Structure 1
Amino acid sequence: MGRDLDKARFSEEEFRLFGERLEEQLVVLRELLDRPGFGEGPVTIGAELELFLVDEAGRPLPRNSEVRDSLGDPRVVLELGRFNLEVNLTPLPLAGRPFERLGGEIQETLRMVDAAVEGGGALPIGILPTLDADDFTPDAMSDENRYEALSRGMRRLRLEPFLVKIDDLELSVENVILESANTSWQVHLRTPPDRFARLFNAAQLAIGPVLAVCGNSPLFLGRTLWEETRIALFEEAADDRDVERLYRKDGRVTFGSDWVREGAYELFERYVRDYDPVVPDLTAGGDPAEVPQLRLHQGTIWQWNRPVYDPADGGHLRIEMRALPAGPSCADMAANTAFLLGLTLAQAERDLTGYRFAQAYQNFYRAAMHGLDAKLSWPGRDGEFEAADLVLSLLPEARAALLGAGVSAKDVDDAFEIIEQRTKLRRTGAAWQREALKAFGGDRERLVRRYRELALSGLPVHLWP
């Protein structure tokens, strides 16, 4: 979904032909993944940062195309909502000082985008607190064919309105525009095919305690909801399961329902088998090894951890970790990345398929709801633990795994100091937002203006006043 399309409307014949292409390209992908030496190379990481644009009052500012055009930076692309932008950061080797370098590029690009917004600025936050219901009109969608095609494709499958129910909040919308309420910090980890299943399962386990210490989305439409309300909102705002698809266990945004047992192909095959196409573009062609339709289809299924096949440089696999929120600061996002990758690498050393998947699933949603107060379980440990205690107990093994991967001790320790202090002080972005809203007498605009000042400072959130 990263490139625009030539058109936004497709015929039923194009949907049929697209389905045939998917089946053909699955065969191609399987042959590629089985090829000796495929995907070998150094371990690299990458990231995508989604941002909100706001006016001087702190309200959403629908000018993403103007900001992108004024910057002329290929790293900056449009997102679904006119008040969103995405920055694609430079891939880095995991060995060395990746988190210091990553934090530096986050700060540089955040300030660059912020300076380009006339009459306002940019900020990284899971859900913008000043969003109101009237911000989600059809006119709020970015003017690109791919987003109109996505909306049309989803409505082709779901004839009913999209329903959102989170605690005491209930609303319905006619298209996918509510997806634009969520911005995330997405981390990529390159992995060889023979290690994919273990690393993917490890990421599924790791994300529970990591998300608990990273909450940054407590407010939506004037209500205080989950620590990571973004998780529930995205799942319900893009759920294509209407009365004709209730047989399907997972929505298009999902944690998943079982461990991976064979490898990446297992997930791609499941995506083709279980999910109807929504954007049946047939124009991309060229080298069969690029499997363009399969990659496009995969980009319309938003599993919180999902596989990525990239044909560049002979082809390789990545795990895209999509569950972390944007923000609060460059230091926080770099630290969150370090903890997530370190814990994933550590847990990949064990076979998790004997641990009940339902417990990893439960951990994820409990962390999204309750943050550091969540009760979580862990393989090899009896009972349940408060998330804050579990996080602190897992830091040493995550640190050891990063050191084993060649990350410098100072880079790891600088990042983990932030996680440790945030946990001990219980000062997540979500906690800061709740406290600030109370201190400012419920003034959401003032909260956003202050948040932006502090986010641009680069200070980690546990040091924010």
Structure 2
Amino acid sequence: MGQEITLTEFEAVDFIAFRQKLAQETALLKQMIDRKSCSNRQPVAGFEIEAWLVDAAMRPAPVNQQYLATLNDPLASAELAKFNFELNCEPAPLTDNVFSLLHAQLERIWQNAGRHAESMNHSAVMIGILPTLAQSDLHLGNMSDMHRYKALNEQILQARGKPIHIDISGTEHLKIEHHDVMLESATTSFQTHIQLPLDLAHHFYNASIIASAAVVAISANSPFLFGRELWHETRIPLFEQAVETGGYAGAARGPLHRVSFGSGYLRHSVIECFEENLAHFPVLLPVTQDTDAASFTHLRLHNGTIWRWNRPLVGFDADGTPHLRIEHRTPASGPTPLDAIANAAFYFGLTQNICEQICNQGLPLTFPEAKDNFYLAARHGLDGTIVWFDGARHRMDHLLRTELLPRAFEGLKPFGVSASDIGDYLDIIRQRLANKQNGSDWQRRYAKEHQRDFVEMTRTYLKNQSSGKPVGEWQ
């Protein structure tokens, strides 16, 4: 979704032309969904992971242009800030030993990325928010040299008409003002993708919404921002506030935001998200292309500027048939490749299990309940309390152990995932729960015991990450 564009300055006619093409493509996608012309291929899994480049002092190193040019890996690309980069994978059918395959692939590309950083006297770190990051690092001089990011910055600030205000109340309180979109670059994620048969996609999207609270709690890895201890997963409020622009008429604080949990469940199909994109969100990057409507070029570019935590995507099979994917954006990056793939296994399994229940019995939570659960889980992590299907409130760590982890085990079976893969990767989650230690818990404990020495904390985190041990085992 970080595709480059060719322009950075636009006129009114550009927005009109783009919106016309966007409307045509949205209508065509609706027709194809109604006619069941989209792919019914069995589920396929993939991921993207964002990471940091740091120098010997564990400070962010804005060198991704040189780093990526010499890394020369087609699966690696630039992110918003010059000290971030992204790694992608080759997708794999969600069956058999899929997690072993994805894990081996991530280990291979991550080890290569790390060795290359070391050759430049730097290090690569996968973590949600870098603890040594300072607000002064987030300036336009550290923005990656891409037209897309320059245009997004200008369009978002123009839509807001005022500086960006960050106000996060957690264990401590952070209130700051910023004058560009670079705050977004502080939030690095592990994003899973699942391609789904057409008839299942909207049910799986709804199940993802319900599963999001558990996933964000078990994978939390971002407790600190600019020296303050905030939420267990501070990426969530930071990203939402860093790109806080809403719908038409400057409704920045209206009900629909570009970064959000969404506006509700889907009723009939994922077209409802794309129709909402068309109806409620002004175009930010009106770069028109001379392409056939069936390529969905403009729909996909517009969708890439609306960051729901669960986001439907349109792609294409090898034979050109359009397919639907659900991108799940709630987990933080890291702490290790093994932890990341374990998070993916937990998400796919739990969501599939909830999806089956939705198909058979209907939605077990209201959307406001699922939304409240998500923000409570992001704020309090494994210590949070959420409403579950029985209508009662449950402590998150207990609910994960007694119901949600078993649901994830059961949910992976219908995919045909091997018993060894199910056991190996979900046992990482089981161990994390037994020790009550995800990345966020480890960082908070370390900071408490070492007087918030964030440099040494980052150095120790990097050593632990390099050991390959999952975070549940870290001392």
- In the superposition, the TM-score normalised over structure 2's length comes to 0.95
Structure 2 equivalent of residue 387 of structure 1 = 396
Structure 1 equivalent of residue 328 of structure 2 = 321
Residue 225 of structure 1: how far off its partner (Å): 0.7
Give, in whole Å, the separation in 2 of the partners of 1:416 and 1:219. 27
Give, in whole Å, the separation in 1 of the partners of 2:414 and 2:25. 37
Contact residue 289 and residue 311 of structure 1 kept, 8 A = no
Give, in whole Å, the separation in 2 of the partners of 1:248 and 1:23. 23
Give, in whole Å, the separation in 1 of the partners of 2:121 and 2:450. 23
Structure 2 equivalent of residue 221 of structure 1 = 226
Q: Which amino acid aligns with 2:25?
A: Q
Structure 1 equivalent of residue 376 of structure 2 = 366
Give, in whole Å, the separation in 1 of the partners of 2:36 and 2:378. 40
Contact residue 107 and residue 456 of structure 1 kept, 8 A = no
Q: Can you give the 5+ residue segments of structure 1 that lack an aligned partner in the other structure?
A: none
Q: How many residues align?
A: 463
Contact residue 231 and residue 368 of structure 1 kept, 8 A = yes
Contact residue 246 and residue 281 of structure 2 kept, 8 A = no
Relative to structure 2, which stretch is displaced further, 27-36 or 316-325?
A: 27-36
Give, in whole Å, the separation in 1 of the partners of 2:298 and 2:377. 35
Structure 1 equivalent of residue 461 of structure 2 = 451
Contact residue 210 and residue 365 of structure 2 kept, 8 A = no
Residue 247 of structure 1: how far off its partner (Å): 6.8
Partner SS state of residue 316, structure 1: strand
Relative to structure 2, which stretch is displaced further, 430-439 or 32-41?
A: 32-41
1:150 matched to 2:152? The reply is yes
Give, in whole Å, the separation in 2 of the partners of 1:339 and 1:10. 43
Structure 2 equivalent of residue 269 of structure 1 = 275
Structure 2 equivalent of residue 22 of structure 1 = 22
Indicate which of 416, 427, 450 corresponds to 1:417.
Answer: 427
Residue 214 of structure 1: how far off its partner (Å): 1.1
Structure 2 equivalent of residue 338 of structure 1 = 345
Give, in whole Å, the separation in 2 of the partners of 1:354 and 1:93. 29
Residue 416 of structure 1: how far off its partner (Å): 1.3
Contact residue 67 and residue 113 of structure 1 kept, 8 A = no
Relative to structure 2, which stretch is displaced further, 316-325 or 435-444?
A: 435-444
Per-residue CA deviation, residues 243-268 of structure 1 (Å, 9 max, x unaligned), is: 83157302110001311101110110
Give, in whole Å, the separation in 1 of the partners of 2:104 and 2:156. 38
Structure 2 equivalent of residue 397 of structure 1 = 407
Partner SS state of residue 391, structure 2: strand
Structure 1 equivalent of residue 122 of structure 2 = 120
Structure 2 equivalent of residue 208 of structure 1 = 213
Residue 88 of structure 1: how far off its partner (Å): 0.7
Partner SS state of residue 170, structure 1: strand
Give, in whole Å, the separation in 2 of the partners of 1:247 and 1:188. 29
Residue 7 of structure 1: how far off its partner (Å): 1.9
Partner SS state of residue 392, structure 2: strand
Give, in whole Å, the separation in 2 of the partners of 1:166 and 1:36. 44
Give, in whole Å, the separation in 2 of the partners of 1:248 and 1:350. 33
Structure 2 equivalent of residue 43 of structure 1 = 43
1:294 matched to 2:294? The reply is no
Contact residue 128 and residue 189 of structure 2 kept, 8 A = yes
Q: Which amino acid aligns with 1:441?
A: Q
Indicate which of 171, 178, 186 corresponds to 2:183.
Answer: 178
Per-residue CA deviation, residues 288-307 of structure 1 (Å, 9 max, x unaligned), is: 21111111000000000010
Give, in whole Å, the separation in 2 of the partners of 1:371 and 1:418. 17
Indicate which of 308, 322, 342 corresponds to 1:303.
Answer: 308
